[in-house]
Structure 1
Amino acid sequence: MSENFLQRLKRRKDETNAEEKPSIFQQQLAKFKFEPDQIDVFQESFRRVTNQFDKPGPRMANTENFNVGEDENAIPCRLFVPFGADQPAGPCLIYFHGGGFVTCDVETHEGITRRLANGAICRVLSVDYRLAPQHAYPAGPDDCETVLKWALDGQGLEDYGIDPANIAVGGDSAGGNMAAYLAQKYRNQIKSQILFYPLMQLMEFKPPKPGPQDWLQLGFMALKFIDEHYVAGADATDTRLSPLLEKNLKGMPPAFVLTAGLDPLRDEGKLYADNLINHGCDVTYHHEKAMPHGFLNFARAFPKAKSIPLDAADVLRQHFPKPQQMQD
């Protein structure tokens, strides 16, 4: 059953009074290290912390794993179909997970994608794109674009009910980087874009204004690792790597942009939101000043990780057709 206004108001008051940074979570976060020869260890550590500090997302009417493409070109994807959207065809958000282009997968971000699907009452297709350092740029973006083109071309309609006329893109962090670029390239075919603390440029990594360094340090470590093992000598001024540099933003699809105060990416995310607004784009901008980068993965530690996807889902619903049938 969907929340009414008073229920959502009470929930937000409760979350405002909740503890923002549980000490146990801080201790686990402090163990993360970005080492080229230990990326598998980092992946397993992140999965363990996600399992410990995230809550299972809402139950779906259907979930399905399948590949886009075949053989060595196969790209694993996971489709989430919420109750109320389990019709022959309907809108779909194509989601690209974060993880600095080097870690995470559809499972580490399943809480986020389930909450988006349930809130927007639409299909969500989560893409398990190739990761660096095994697959440096542009492998990951190539996979994401391939899946988007597959959906826009109507190849997901018959078997998976993905309506090519009603597609949105979204992602967090590195996934937000790729979603932003693809929204630029396919702006005339995209209904909306969801950007959670997006990494908008890979040219230089300067600390933001002074802040709680214990929360920012992980971000700086990650950015250095990305530069060495993902960019790996590519032209970082290319808008495919740095969509913040795109000068022509006219006609961009409506956007939801989230930034976090304890995040080295906060300034570039805000700047991109401002750029979109200055070019006439309909932007819903949301800033959480007490949150660190990646907090949407940890709903047990940060209760707002459950509510903010609902705010983003509002934007999706506004620009998608309403489901023909609604279920409680």
Structure 2
Amino acid sequence: MARTAQRLAVIVAITASIMAYLWRAPNSEGIEQLDRVRALTASMKITYIIGRAAEMLGISDRISVVRKVAGLMLRLKDAKDDAGLEIQDTSIENVPVRIARPKNQNGNLPAIVFYHGGAFYMGSVDTHNSLTSSLARLANVVVVSVDYRLAPEHPFPAGLEDCYTVTKHILEHGNSNKLRIDTNRVAVAGDSAGGNFAAVIAMRFASQTTSERKPRLQILIYPVLQLFDMMLPSYMHNHFEFFPYTVDHTLTIYFGKKVDQSIYANNHLSVAQKKKYRKYVDWSLIPAKYRTVYQKPLTDNQEGDPTLIENAKLALNPEVSPLLVDDESLAKLPPTYLLTVGHDRLRDETFIYEGRLKRNGVPVVHNHYEHIFHGSVGFLHGPFALDIAKKMVDDMVIYIGENL
């Protein structure tokens, strides 16, 4: 009897520890609707644990697990997502897309070509449907969401090329009877990794002299803009995260070569590379309030590891790190909308990008939301809906209405 009681006590203790871990939300001060955020975070932790366990046991890899769980969560899709819209799943030049168009709008409408986030290896038009449909409905525009190829099955630059192919087609042929798009009023947009694609594609078109039509706007939602400096203050600060991910794991998948954790100490760079590219990642453009502890680069005089330098060399490619271009190139970019959040390792590079764009005469609107986390903009409907997500989308819609 005593032994049974002891076992029960152990089970209760373990269960309590697991529940405490799942419910714990460190660094979440100031985040509103925290109970809802805790529930969301718990589901992501479970997904991550299952993925790591499956990988360790040789059952599956964590990428497959995350994708499958995301697919299950789609069954929670809210009916409000597509209200008032015509939704068409089709393809453009063999690239799958989802087109959301306001109903009863027969004329040529402005359009947003949207590239979803997901660290280059996750996400789909389904995971971002709530956001893309909301933009189509509220801004009265056509949204073409690109279901690009994902790493590791398709490493860089496959996904980027898919997005470019669709965008080029929209700009050149969007005014067809099928698409009914005003090709003079097309924006490129994306979140996180998709924001990276949007910035790169906007730069491609801005640099071309042969393109008759180019994107009118770029809309970047907490974008990946550089993989040069992994020791920016926003990387060094402990932020709230609703889904754990690491740069080394992400880049290993995206590049198809092993990138280890020493990238967090900028060990992927030689001193010569640091000297060459530092001017593009200027810490003085980060707001002073974020530089109270880490005020200047820390390792620019330290030589990196030759193997990592070779494996991570794509990190310095402007089509991976669009911040690493000269001022003359930046000056050619279209008007830009930037969205950042406080709990985000990508925060500071967007402030640097903003500063450089403004310095070169590019019109910029930058809305920063301090007390919210990376990935939050899509939680518009359903059990994890966040008020701040609706606010962020409403602010974007205002910008789109005034500029597109």
- Are 2:369 and 1:288 aligned? yes
Percentage of pairs with the same residue: 30
Let me know the Cα RMSD of the aligned residues: 2.5
Give ranges in structure 2 of 5+ residues lacking alignment.
1-29, 56-60, 207-212, 257-310
Separation in 1 of the partners of 2:78 and 2:196? 23
CA offset at residue 108 of structure 1?
0.4
For residues 51 and 193 of structure 1, do their structure 2 counterparts lie closer, same or farther at Cα, with a shift above 3 Å needed? Answer: farther
Matched, 1:76 2:96: yes
Partner residue of 2:43?
Answer: 28
Q: 2:178, 2:149 → 1: CA distance?
A: 24
Q: Can you list the C-alpha shifts for 1:255-274, whole angstroms capped at 9, x where unaligned?
A: 11111111111111221122
1:43 match: 67
The CA distance in 1 between the partners of 2:175 and 2:231, in whole Å, is 41
Name the structure 1 match of 2:254: 230
- How far is the alpha carbon of 1:92 from its aligned partner? 0.7
> CA distance change for structure 1 residues 41 and 274 in 2, over 3 Å: closer, same or farther?
same
**1:305 equivalent in alignment to 2:389:** yes
The superposition leaves residues 199-219 of structure 1 with CA deviations (integer Å, 9 ceiling, x where unpaired) of 111334336445445x24845
The residue that corresponds to 1:170 in the other structure is: 189
Say which of 319, 333, 339 aligns to 1:240: 319
1:1-328 matched pairs, under 5 angstroms: 18-20=32-34, 22=36, 23-33=38-48, 37-49=61-73, 52=76, 56-69=80-93, 74-83=94-103, 86-154=105-173, 157-187=176-206, 189-206=214-231, 208-209=233-234, 211-213=237-239, 215-216=240-241, 218=243, 221-232=245-256, 233=311, 235-247=314-326, 248-299=329-380, 300-320=384-404
Q: 1:301 to 1:81 in 2, by over 3 A?
A: closer
SS at match of 1:31: helix
User: Mean Cα displacement is larger for which, 134-143 or 233-242?
Assistant: 233-242
SS of equivalent to 1:111: helix
Contact 1:263–1:293 (CA under 8 A) maintained in structure 2: yes
Q: Deviations over 1:228-267 (max 9, x none)?
A: 0102345221111000112221132111111111111111
Q: For the residues of structure 2 that align with 1:280 and 1:208, how far apart are their CA atoms?
A: 26
Deviation at 1:172, TM superposition (A): 0.2
Provide TM-score, normalisation by structure 1: 0.83
Preserved CA contact (<8 Å) 1:216 1:264: no
CA spacing shift, 1:252–1:54, aligned 2, 3 Å: farther
Q: Give 3-state SS (helix, strand or coil) of 1:179's partner.
A: helix
C-alpha contact (below 8 Å) 2:47/2:65 kept by paired residues: no
Change in 2 beyond 3 A, CA 1:173/1:51: farther
For residue 319 of structure 1, report the CA deviation from its aligned partner: 2.4
Q: Answer yes or no: is the 8 Å Cα contact 1:32–1:42 preserved in 2.
A: yes
After superposition, give the CA deviation of every residue in 1:27-72 in whole Å (9 maximum; x if it has no partner): 1222343767221211122344566597842513311111112xxx
Separation (CA, whole Å) in 1 of partners of 2:117 and 2:318: 18
Contact map agreement 1:67 1:76 (CA 8 A) in 2: yes
Change (3 A) 1:231 1:82: same
Distance of 1:52 and 1:25 partners within structure 2: 13
Higher relative contact order (CA 8 A, sep 6+): 1
Please say if residues 250 and 280 of structure 1, whose CA atoms lie closer than 8 Å, have aligned partners that are also in contact. Answer: yes
